[in-house]
Structure formats: C-alpha cells, structure tokens
Structure 1
Amino acid sequence: MKNIYTTVLSILFILNTIGLLAQTETIASNRKSISLDGKWKYIVDPMQNGYYNYRYQVNPNGFFKDKRPTDESDLVEYSFDNSDQLNVPGDWNTQKENLFFYEGTIWYKKSFIYVKNGSRVFLYFGAVNYEARVYLNGEELAVHQGGFTPFNFEVTDLLKSGKNDVVVKVDNTRKPEQIPTVNSDWYNFGGITRSVRLIEVPQTFIQDYSIQLKKGSLSEVEGWVKLQGPSRSLVKIEIPEEKISIIAQPDANGLAKVTFKSKLNLWSDINPKLYEVKITTKEDTITDKIGFRSIEVNGRDILLNGKSVFLKGISIHEVAPFTAGRVIAPEQCRTLLNWAKELGCNFVRLAHYPHNEDMVRMADEMGLMVWSEIPVYWTIDWKNENVFSHAQKQLLDMIARDKNRAAVIMWSVANETPISEARTDFLRRLVETAREVDSTRLLTGALEPHGSDSLRLLDDPFGQYLDVIGVNNYCGWYYETPSFCSDVKWKMIYEKPLIISEFGGGALQGLHGNESERWTEEYQEAVYKNNIDMLENIPYLRGTTPWILMDFLSARRPLPNIQDYWNRKGLISDRGIKKKAFYTLQKYYLKENSN
C-alpha cells in the first residue's frame, strides 16, 4: 500500500492537471470569502442552442458570451438582461412551478464587482447538479461532473477590477454513464444547489490539511499540511486549549508532516468535544474546530474510543423541511438533526450522496456519528472505466472535504447493488481507494439479503472487503405483512458488525385505519413494531438506520392522493408532523439507552 502522503500528493497532482484543487472545502470553510449567492439570471435551454449550432457543433459565440445587439438590425436570440431570476443556492424544480419536472440545460448568470488586491482568487461552488460548464468573462474555465461534491477554479488572471460576469451551463440530464445513473428513488433536483463564493488567498496558501488520531491510538496525533505556491516557510500547528505547538518544515512539494502525543479529551456522541486547531505559516492562517476520536471494529463490535457502541440511527435525505427542495441553509440542517436527536439517535446515515457540509459540521457539534456515502446506487455500468472514474472522483472529493470531521465514522461506497463479478470488482477498487487516502475510518455499503423470507442470508461476496456490513430489508412492506416480521431469522457468513441500514414502510400522515390497511399510520407503526422485535433477536446487530426521517420528493412515486410524487416512508411528514411510527422507534432507542 502506498504511503498516505504520497497518495495525497498524487491526487493533488491529478486534480491540478485538470484545473481543480483537491481540497476545495478547506479553502471555503475557514476563510474570508465574497458570496455570490442571491439572485442569478437564467435561461431555459432544452435544445442546448446556447452551446451548439444547428449542425450540433460547439458554437464559439454561445450564450456564455452574453452577447447584446450592436445595432437595431443585429440578430441576438437570447438575453440574460431581460430574463427571470433564480435563487442561488437552490434547485430550479421547487422555485418555479413550470420547472418542477424539467431535466436538461439551464444557463445561469451573475454579475459582480471585484477590486483586485494582489491576492490569488478562486471561484468556488459547493455543488451543482449535475454537469457544470463554467465561464468567467466569456472564457471557459472547465467542466465539473457530479451533483454533490464541491469544486473550484483559480480565476486570478481572468478577473477584472470592476464588473465581472460568471455564466454557468447547468445540465441535470440523467445518463447511463453517470453516478448516479438514470434510475433512482429521489428527486433529480437541478441547479446551483450550494453556495458560490470568491475565495482570496495569499500567493502561497494552506491548500489542505489532515489532523486526527493515529489509527489504533487514543493519544497519538498525526497529520499533514499541504502548501500551494512558491514559498516553503515553516508550518505551525497549535491546539491552544492543550498548550500544544508543533513546528514542521514542508518538503519540496509543500507537504509538512507532524506527529505528537497528548492526552486529549476525546470526541464522542456523549461528549462531542471540539478543539480549536490553528495552522499558521508566514503567509497564511487557518483555524478549524476538530474533534479527536478513534473508531474501530473488533469482531462483531464497533468500538468508539475503545468502547463498544450501538448505533441508534436514522437515514436522511438532503431535503429541506417544509419547502421540499434541496437544503440550502444551516438552519434547515439543524432542524433535521434536531429531529434525529429527539428520536434518540446518536448516528445518522446521510443518504445517498455527500450532503451539505453544514450538515456534517453540525453533526460534529451535536455528537451525531455519520455514515457518509456516494451515489453508487442500484444498477450502473460496472464494466465502464469512465463510470468507475466518476465514482472514484466523487469518493475522493467526499473524503477530501470531510476528513477532519470526527462525526464521520464510515465511508459507504454502494447501495443495493446487484451481485456480479464485475460489480464486486468495481466496489472492491473503491474500497481500496478509500483505504489508501483514509485508513482511520470504517468502510461500509448497504447490501441486500438473500435466502428465504423467513431466513435472511448475508453472503454477498463484497462483504469480505468491508469493515461493517450494512443491509437493507423491507419486511412488511415489499414482502409479507408486518406480523410476519417478528419471527424472521438472520444468518451472516462474516464475523463483522451488522447495521440494518434500511427498513420501514410508507404512510400518509393523518391517514388512519387498522394496522392491516396499507398507507395508514397504523400500518407503518406495525411495520416498525414487528421489525424491532426481529432486530432484538439478532445478536450481532450493532446499529440501525431505518428509512427515513422525513418524506421526500421522488418522481418514482406517482400514486394519486397518497404519494403524489412523494416517498411517504418518512417518520415525519413533509410539513414537519410526526407520524405514530416516530414514537415507536423513539421508544426502542430509549430502551437501548437503558441497556
């Protein structure tokens, strides 16, 4: 296995050669920035006429040139100036009724004033779904694919003192070669869905860093700091509360490695301790809040700081409470996580893609452990190397952004993928990638059981590569009735911890009847009660993340008067009203607290 520092440098080199910096979120989260959020002009372009000419060749004078007529006879068939506006961050589907089902291209434009001051400047996007082609002052910067990971471009030389224009071609068309692929059970929200900022940094700046407990230790800290730029000044790492101050010399590549011992107050779900960590060079300073904890497995146990822990969790989609659209604000993240805490959770599965960074940082503060995953979901083209590259890139971006967050204890690489040799090899390679860049966290995936309805067998060959086995099982909803589930038995061929990563059923909040009547709150409650009886008979069970905290939009769910394009498996309705099953799960978690 490669040395972790060599691997990090290799990733940085690869990303820089295509115009990106590996650690985008480090730059954004802990620095002074200029927000470009707010109202952006937009043009709907279903035929992509703003990019291709009538021969379907790239038009060098497309919409990105933001052309205006030079005289009264000049033909220009578009106008940002006279177009409507969309909020950024935000999805277009829930902002404009006529765009609710729209999938395709929309052009965004933002004008802003900038005064050059000698700093290096990066244009940063928190996320754009799915493909973003970015232009500044008419010049193309690059293309980014992937709807849930951050990216940035250096724009120092293209920026002007005075008025500048950013134009982004956003395309959320689903394609077989993408991650996720064409079929999924969540809404394909299009748009610039997370914040856009200009980040100013000195000529040599702190590009990336990792500070955490060494694997297998509760007292030894190891880390590294990566500088970008011509200078190689000394790096100082401080934890003022513990009176720790470490000096390191960067090597020729700008990488400074550190290791030290200290008796730190460890982060946990009971004590979510975060330390202020300050990283300083002659030219630059970054301050972050970092927790230190150990997460390991021992046989069929999960150990947090060396002690066995049961993960009382819930799955969550990045859907805003009350508005139904993509999460766009920290207070929306806090509402979702407060609901999880009220439920009795110490763990959340952020499904099925990397969520907003605010969500992960709040989990850090609130003592909620996190399962974080990429959208390798259902059936993709396992034999296509370009598809693997997309998945690997999203995995690396997720790890790069959140590797300093103590709350994140697991990286997940897949959900409900059908067994085949090609698929298992694809996922194995993703696991190897994750282990190379981060050996301190656990690797998992949500698998499917086999066997009979009454004996669920966990024998997926991919399980051999995971630290923790996750499995989705919908007894009482997709097979059998709720009363059947209590006596279901489980058999697993692996001596590893098991998490039931999904179970549950749908209910329309406010619809009542008897527990055999589908879609009623009573039926959903019966599903939970009987599944909990089943869970209590699995001796190697180490956690659950039932499906799901809140109802969410899904184009797969058209049943009139019940679903209306909502997945109704939430314990809480889209209007924030708790269903009966919420309190059933809450009671189970309170019982686990007393054990």
Structure 2
Amino acid sequence: MHLLSYPRESVSLDGTWQAIPDQYEMYDGYFEDFVDDDDDDNPAGFSPKSIYELGASEQEGMPVDFNVHDGYSVDVPASWGEEITEFRHYEGWVWFAKTFDWDADTAGDSSHLKFGAVNYRAEVWLNGERLGEHEGGFTPFSFDVTDELVDGENLLIVKVDNKRYDDGIPNASTDWFNFGGINRSVEVVSVPETYVRNYKLETELSEDSVDLQLDAWVENAVDDTEVTASFPKLDVSIELTADDDGVFTGEATLSRDDVTLWSPSDPQLYTVRVAADDDTIEDEVGLREVDVVDGDLLLNGEEIWLRGIALHEESAGKGRALNLEDVEERFEWITELGCNYARLAHYPHTEAMARKADEEGLILWEEIPAYWHINFGDEEIQELYRQQLRELIQRDWNRASVALWSIANETDHKDDTRNEVLPEMADYVRELDDTRLVTAACFVDETDDGIVLKDPLQEHLDVVGINQYYGWYYGDADDMEQFQENPDGTPVLISETGGGAKWGHHGDEDERWTEEFQAAIYRGQTDAIDGNDQIAGMAPWILFDFRAPMRQNDHQRGYNRKGLVDQHGRKKQAFHVLRGFYQEKRS
C-alpha cells in the first residue's frame, strides 16, 4: 500500500548528493576482491578501505578509485544528464550518496524513506544495510528504516540503473528521452506507532444526495484503535470501523444543496482529516462523480466535452526533475489554450501536477508506460504491469482531477495475447478504483465503409482513446469526417493528433515542417471532429516540443517538433488555432 506522505511533515533529503557513474558495473562488491594486508600474496601491503569510508581516495600508497563521498556534486531531484553534461546520453549505473543528520529524539515511533521516482531501477542501502530495490521510473516507493537510522550522521546509497530493457515497462523502444536519475524528491517520513498509511474517498451522486465512502489503511491498529474522518467545512464526522480485511471504512450522506461539487468551472476543495489514535492527516479533496451513460461522458450527471492537450514531463535544461515553477508554467499555457482537460503522457507525472489540477479545475488522463511492444505473455512483466498501475492509482485516487486511468498506448490490436491480457488489466484497475473511467490509446482502421474502431479492447473500456495523424503521416487532415460514429457506443476521445513544425520556420500551408502546415492540420482536424456525437473530446499531440532520440532530421535534431510551443516556450501558429476552436466549444 502506498505510503501517504504529502500532507505530513517530513525531513527532506533533497539537495546536494554525490554521483559516481559506473559504466562497467564494477563497484557492486568490488573491494571484496582485494586481499588483507597480512596476506602472503600481498607484498605491497595494500589495505583496502571501504567505498563508504570518508577519505579513502586520498590514502597513502594505493588510493581507492571509487568513493561515495568523492563523486560529482549534483542536485537531487535531477536528471543526471542535465547535471553532468558529459553524461547527457549515458545509460547505465550511477551510484548516488547522501549523508544526513538524524535526531532520534524528535522522530516518531517509526520512520520511512520515500522516493518520488527513480529512473529506472533502484537498489538502496542505509548505513550499510540493504533496504531493497524497486523497478519502474515514474512511481513512488518507500522502505521502513526505523531500525536502520542512527542518531547523528547517516549514509544513504542508491544505485540507479536507467538502461532500457526489453522486459521492462516501458521496453527498450520509446519515442521520448530516457532521463536517468533520482528525478523526484526523497524524504524521511516519521509517524506514530499506529498511523494512517493511506485512505481512499469515493463519491456517488443521486438526485438529492451526495454519498461518501471513506476507507483507511491503518498500520498497527489494535482493538481499541479509534479511526475517524471529518470534513470541517461540511460539519461532517464519520466513525470508521474495521472490515474483515482490516480496512477501516465509514459512510456519510449529504444533501446536494449543502455541497459544491468539484468541476472545471468551480473546483471546490474541502479539507478532510483522517485520524487514528495520535496520528492525523489532512488533505484537500473535491467531491464529484464521473460516469458514462448511454454513450455520453458525464461529470456530476451532466454531459461534458473535454477540451484538452497532451504533454510530457520535461523541461529544457532540467530533464524530468520539475519544480513548482515548471508546473505553474504548464498550467499557464493550458489555461491560455482554454483547456478543461489534459493527458499526462506516457507515464505517471509528478504528484504536484494532479494536486495543481485539483486546484485549477483541470480533468486528467493518467497512464503508465505500457507503450508499443510490451511482451504481454510474460508473467513477470504482467506483475510489473500491475505494480505500476497500483503505485500510480494508490498515489492519486483521491485527486478529483483524475478521471481516466489509461492502461496502454498504441499496442497491437491484432495480438491475441495482448487481447487476453489487457482486459485483465482493465479489471485490475477497477478492483483498485471503480470510481473512475478506464481507457487506452488505440488505433482506428480504414475500411470501405469509412474509418472504424475494430480494436476488441473497446468492449472492456469505459472510454476509447484514438491516436490518429491524418494530414501528417497519412491522408488529409479532415479525413476523420469519415469516422463512423455510434452515438450510443463507447465515448471516444482523440488522444493524439497533430503534426510537426519548427518554431520560426514559415512557408505555404502545403510546406511540411512550417508553422503554417501545422496550423492547417489543426484547422482540418478540428473541423472534422466537430459535431461528431461519439467524440467526447480531444487532446492533440502535444503541448511543447520534447526530446526524442529517434527524431533526427534537419528540422528536429533530437526533438519531437509536434509541440504547440517549442522547448523554450515560444508559441507556434497552431497554438492559436486550437485556442480559437476551444473558445468556440466553450460558447
């Protein structure tokens, strides 16, 4: 179960760390190969020192070549290629080290070391004790370090491996840059002996009422543990009781007249407090319901058309280590476009994006990097698949902004194994959270009858995403007029469309890579889908240009240029075309 840390006080370990690249993977147990100085085979009298010992690289005689106190000084969170420019394209092992002071007298009964995200594999030691490992570059993980922390100075070691793996998620081939590093914050969270590890709030609407259910996962609860939830502004208090699985649960019913439901036009948030004995967490939540009824996408019982944009998590010169200013900048662009929706592609973005979306009233599509050619038949990959879904969902299942969980992007709908496994993943998502909609980004097929959805996965989705690039890779920009709509069928979101342009490159509308060409694609695409009763919204590809090693022609040079804004924040003509279309959709 995900450790909820955001509302808690914690000790940040962000700041300056030491980083040591290990391209040949030699330093894991490297010094165990050396002999003691009293060994007959060691005539030089070499006395090996631990790689953890301060000053080992300065010793007399034969110095140590690798020492965790004597690496490159880097900031954490950071993507190492942006911090150490000569390692911009490096993929492999990097050892990170951090010394920090710990005051045992001020700590709680138990302490947890939490990482926001490490790309891609991490192995962690604290004071020489191995804590464990984690796979997946975009989701949080934590370790109980109560017994490993010492009063005074502590040494934390993280071995980070960002190599691309065929058996990984994503696998070895992607269309985005592989930013290695400890890309999100590291912290130590201290809690009482009995504490709330996580909670989940569910909202269900009826004609006159708002029904709330709150579940809490409480560690080290005993028979007389008192668990409550309260909403002070609503004057609601709920006493939670343990079910057969040990989950504490409770319910409340409110009059709709007493509640302002969360929506893009009025993103009302309420304080919720969940308490277990001496532990209390406080969070800000929105009350709302998303649903699909008779082919319509509904928010709080009313049909909504999603005016969206897709975006990667990246910033020029920072890689994937965004700060709050970067998040604010994205929301400024999104607001200027007139969006009420965004697709956070192609992996879980920082939690700060979802919390900001709660505040701003932006509906989100979130996904894991089950991208292109996943080996769906491998049981270990399936378990990794579930792990990444679970870590994302348990992190963000209380964010009112998050309405769609996506389970895959551009996977082969003619693959029989894929068509067996993905419905199982959809069911798994619903087991974790059945209050949101399950989707995936799929392809359409061209037939004699027009453009149709033939992907069998659509029967297992609440909303179908369609990636199509008419006017750029094939066909004409307005070809989606031929999409054979079924107004009562599964709602469709255009999850990707668009074309590339290099900012400042101008010419005729039929000249590829010009801003004019890209703008014409947007005019044709928006005209083609406007009025289609099955299409419930769109999120064109993409908000800003991003790093992509496979894109190497003269106009791209390592960037995907489909952004409405370039990597420096300069707007292209298509930005204004989409903005105008969304202004019309709002009226």
Q: Give SS of 1:219's match.
A: strand
- Match of 2:473, as an amino acid? Y
* Structure 2 Cα separation of the partners of residues 252 and 221 of structure 1: 20
Is 1:223 aligned with 2:214?
yes
Find the counterpart in structure 2 of residue 273 from structure 1. 268
Alignment of 1:534-549 (within 5 A): 534-549=528-543
Q: Is the alpha carbon distance of 1:488 and 1:134 closer, same or farther for their aligned partners in structure 2, counting shifts above 3 Å?
A: same
Structure 1 residues 267 and 113, CA, compared in 2 at 3 Å: closer, same or farther?
same
Equivalent position amino acid for 1:220 in 2: D
Following superposition, the deviation at residue 480 of structure 1 comes to 2.7
Q: 1:66 to 1:349 in 2, by over 3 A?
A: farther
Q: In structure 2, what is the equivalent of residue 583 of structure 1?
A: 576
1:451 shift after superposition = 1.6
The answer to whether the aligner puts 1:246 opposite 2:223 as a matched pair is no
Pairs within 5 Å for 1:88-487: 88-117=76-105, 119=108, 120-214=110-204, 219-232=210-223, 233-250=225-242, 254-263=246-255, 264-320=259-315, 322-323=316-317, 325-419=319-413, 420-452=415-447, 455-482=450-477, 485=479, 487=481
Moved more, 535-544 or 235-244: 535-544
Give 5+ residue unaligned stretches, structure 2: 34-47
Distance (Å, rounded) in 2 between the aligned partners of 1:450 and 1:347: 26
CA separation of 1:582 and 1:448: change in aligned 2, threshold 3 A: same
Q: Which runs of 5+ in 1 are unaligned?
A: 1-21
- Aligned counterparts of 1:175 and 1:486: Cα–Cα separation in 2: 36
Partner SS state of residue 400, structure 2 = coil
8 A contact 2:487–2:533 mirrored in 1: no
Tell me the amino acid that sits aligned with residue 235 of structure 2.
Answer: K
What CA distance in whole angstroms lies between the structure 1 residues aligned with 2:565 and 2:267? 26
Structure 1 residues 513 and 370, CA gap change in structure 2 (3 angstroms): same
Equivalent pair of 2:10/2:188 in contact (CA under 8 Å)? yes
Task: Decide whether the 8 Å contact of 1:463 with 1:494 is kept in 2.
Answer: no
Instruction: Find the aligned partners of 1:260 and 1:144 in 2 and give their Cα distance.
Output: 38
1:35 pairs, out of 3, 7, 12, with 12
1:39-58 aligned at under 5 Å gives the runs: 39-51=16-28
Greater shift in the superposed pair: 69-78 or 162-171: 69-78
The alignment partner of 1:262 has SS state of strand
Is residue 324–residue 574 contact of structure 1 (8 Å, CA) maintained in 2? no
TM-aligned CA deviation for residue 430 of structure 1: 0.8
Match of 1:520? 514
* Aligned-partner SS, 1:44: strand
Q: CA deviation at 1:536?
A: 1.7
Please give the root-mean-square deviation of Cα atoms over the aligned residues, in Å.
2.2
Deviations 1:501-552, CA, capped at 9 Å, x for gaps: 1000000001000011111000000110111121125221101000000111
Change (3 A) 1:314 1:573: same
Distance 1:161 1:236 in 2: 34
Correspondence for 2:39: none
User: Does residue 569 in structure 1 map to residue 562 in structure 2?
Assistant: yes
My pick for the range that moved more, 324-333 or 124-133, is: 324-333
Contact 1:311 1:542 in 2 (8 A): yes
Q: Deviations over 1:347-403 (max 9, x none)?
A: 000001111000000000000000010110001111111111111100011110000
Aligned pair in 2 of structure 1 residues 239, 55: CA closer, same or farther (>3 Å)?
A: closer
Q: Note if contact 2:14-2:76 (Cα within 8 Å) is conserved in structure 1.
A: yes
CA deviation after TM superposition for structure 1 residue 215, in Å = 7.2
Identity of aligned residues (%): 38
Counterpart-to-counterpart distance in 2, 1:541 and 1:219:
29
Q: How far 1:326 sits from its partner (Å)?
A: 1.1
Q: How far apart, in 1, do the equivalents of 2:498 and 2:53 lie?
A: 50
Please give the per-residue CA displacement for 1:179-206, whole angstroms capped at 9, x wherever unaligned.
0001111111000000000111011111
